[in-house]
Amino acid sequence: MAMCAVSPRSFLNIFCLFLQLFTVVNTEENIRNYPSTAFGDTNVTNNTTDTYTITKPTEFEWTTSHTNIEEPAEPLPASGRLFPPVLNVDSMCPCDEHRDVCDINCCCDKDCNEEVALFTDCSVRTVSGNKQLCSYDVASYTLGRTTDGYSELQSSVRKEISYDIFCIQSQYRVEGLSHLTPALPTDTNFDSLFKQFTSFIFGLEENSGKTSAVDLQTSPEYKYGDLLVTAQESGQRGVFRLPAPGVTADCVDTNPAAFLKDQSNTCSRRVVLNQACSTLPAFSMDTYTNIRLFAGKNNDAAVAPEVLSVILQSIDGTLTELTISGGENLSPTLLNPDLCTNVVLKVTYVMKYNPAGEIVKVAVSLVLGFVREAELPLKQDFQIAFVQQDGEDMAVRYSGNPGYVVGLPLVSGTKTADGIIRSINLRDSLSLLNSAGDQDCLQGPHQRSPVLFGLDLVSGCKLRLEDTSNCSLVSQMLLDILRGPNYPQYVASFGNSPLENALDWVQIKTNFIPGTAQSCSIPLSLHLEIEWTKYGSLVNAQPQIGSIKEVIQTNTTSLSLLSGGSNILSIRSSVAFIPVSANALPGFRAIPTINAKLPIDFFFPFV
């Protein structure tokens, strides 16, 4: 309350009375409170950015003073699923730069209803939402032609699904701020939480009641990136899936396979062997062979995979190809509580397609083997490759074009009368032992690594002297182990050397001469010396292999002296790349000369 002194002057009294009245009105107005939800005629404008425009009431409206607190929204059900994001991509138009004016060739501009007939092309053909989301809408705009030759707009909105394991599931809702506190993973609830939330990993939620990704594909033929459609026993259409590692190395069986997208996945499974041996579908070969693929997305003709080969891996790692006659029982069998046989270790699909985008043939190769309880978790390999019908029967990978690329494996093969034969299996290529902590030379399995261009490598294994009683047998076994199975004879000089041109392949030279049985000579080391040079111009020189030599060192004294009194002898394998390129010399091209010859009467009659 303002205070004024009494003055005999009348105008001062009037001024003090006015000041007191203004202060009272201002104080009462500050006490008032106008909550945004207290008035029925309040204008609220809500847009996608959640901004609100609130009109204050008139000064004659009075309410009780209180604090405006928003009621908490109803929490989402504890199901782990979020509401789909709300975003209308058909109302978005990046090329609409002028308001209330038609922008030329802007097909998404709503002001171009009459001008679209004169458009020549769409400057913006697709408008999509956030591609980091697990699912997002994409609006497509194309121009067609009418019978009169005018342009006609054709637009559609489709839903795209992201198959990135780190996709984002989000929602544009106020209720999203009131999620329940998530449960912390423990030893007791981890499995239930994993099943609850793994549906987000690959973007395909099961039993969600929504349109599946297969129904969104409308074109009759497969296109790059389309999901492969399968025919299920119930008559419904499904998606062909290839197991892959998820957030961890554990296998996730919901990974979809896409057309023309080669995959090579390695994942592991943590199971209780005596319970999962005969019951887990991932262990059985029928899971990967008893499927039917549609030739096209809207084609009723189903293609069943043909079992190309079945290889059995023994306990010690030896591979043997089985001859399938149809009566064998290759189901997983528990031999004892710690050993299970006929378990799927590797699956390879080769899908042949025609230029029309249809799958015409599917071939599958499997590796079955033994699994021990002590070797768990089990590692499984899954591969899928696409080959065009008019191309080669099998996909052949090269290591450069034309020169080798550092880090890619050497291209090797065997020479025949018809040319060079090479295998697409890396186990049949030039390789070396992959060192392990306690790898025994004579007891498998032996892990091998292909020889990679430009990368030197040293590895080996351990030989126990008590295993060398039969010297000649041990010598041959060590030589085969150091060289590897199907040891090649030739190496391609370039990364893309053709098979039919034998002159482009370099023979592997060796200095090894088998000794007599009385000398007891065994190989102690295998060393590969690979000389390479730069071929071509200085601007784009291409690496080329000039020669490759195998150097095998054998013992000249007794093995006990070499071991230094120990019972274990180290056997080594190595590879070294030696550059032998000559120093480049600067060169200059000769100045071109013009050999001009004039006729003898060219200047007649002047000369």
> What pLDDT does residue 208 have?
41
> What pLDDT does residue 547 have?
95
Query: Looking at 374, 395, 416, which one is the last position of a domain?
Result: 395
Q: Any residues with CB less than 8 A from the CB of 109 and at least 6 apart, and which?
A: 93, 95, 96, 102, 103
Query: Looking at 395, 417, 435, which one is the last position of a domain?
Result: 395
> What pLDDT does residue 35 have?
39
Q: Are residues 378 and 237 in the same domain?
A: yes
Query: Is 410 inside a domain boundary?
Result: yes
Count of beta carbons in the 10 Å neighbourhood of residue 287: 15
Q: Provide the residue range defining the domain that includes 410.
A: 398-579
Q: Are residues 407 and 376 in the same domain?
A: no
Q: Are residues 558 and 422 in the same domain?
A: yes
What is the distance, to the nearest Å, from the Cα of residue 90 to the centroid of all Cα atoms in its chain? 31
Q: Are residues 369 and 421 in the same domain?
A: no
Query: Is 28 inside a domain boundary?
Result: no
| Pairing outcome for strands 229-231 and 319-321 | unpaired
Tokens of 306: 């043909």
Query: Is 212 inside a domain boundary?
Result: no
Q: Are residues 432 and 575 in the same domain?
A: yes
Q: Are residues 445 and 498 in the same domain?
A: yes
CB 42 within 8 A of CB 54: yes
> What pLDDT does residue 58 have?
34
Q: Are residues 242 and 381 in the same domain?
A: yes
Q: Are residues 352 and 403 in the same domain?
A: no
Q: What is the pTM of this model?
A: 0.41
Q: Are residues 379 and 280 in the same domain?
A: yes
Instruction: Give the angle subtended at the CA of 456 by the CAs of 452 and 461, to the nearest 5°.
Output: 95
Query: Is 165 inside a domain boundary?
Result: yes
> What pLDDT does residue 11 have?
47
Query: Is 535 inside a domain boundary?
Result: yes
> What pLDDT does residue 177 have?
52
Q: Are residues 339 and 371 in the same domain?
A: yes
Q: Are residues 163 and 305 in the same domain?
A: no
- What pLDDT, in 10s, does the model give residues 188-235? 888 787 777 655 444 444 444 443 444 444 566 788 888 888 887 777
What parts of the chain have a pLDDT lower than 70? 1-87, 164-165, 170-182, 197-220, 298-301, 325-327, 390-397, 423-428, 436-438, 444-445, 514-519, 560, 562-565, 584-589
**Token pair 């909550």: residue:** 35
Query: Is 20 inside a domain boundary?
Result: no
Query: Is 65 inside a domain boundary?
Result: no
Q: How far apart, in whole angstroms, are the C-alpha atoms of residue 362 and residue 349?
A: 7
Query: Is 204 inside a domain boundary?
Result: no
Q: Are residues 386 and 464 in the same domain?
A: no
> What pLDDT does residue 221 have?
77
Query: Looking at 371, 395, 419, which one is the last position of a domain?
Result: 395
> What pLDDT does residue 64 have?
33
Domain count, the chain: 3
Closest among 376, 191, 347 to 277, alpha carbons compared: 376
**Token pair 């198959």: residue:** 163
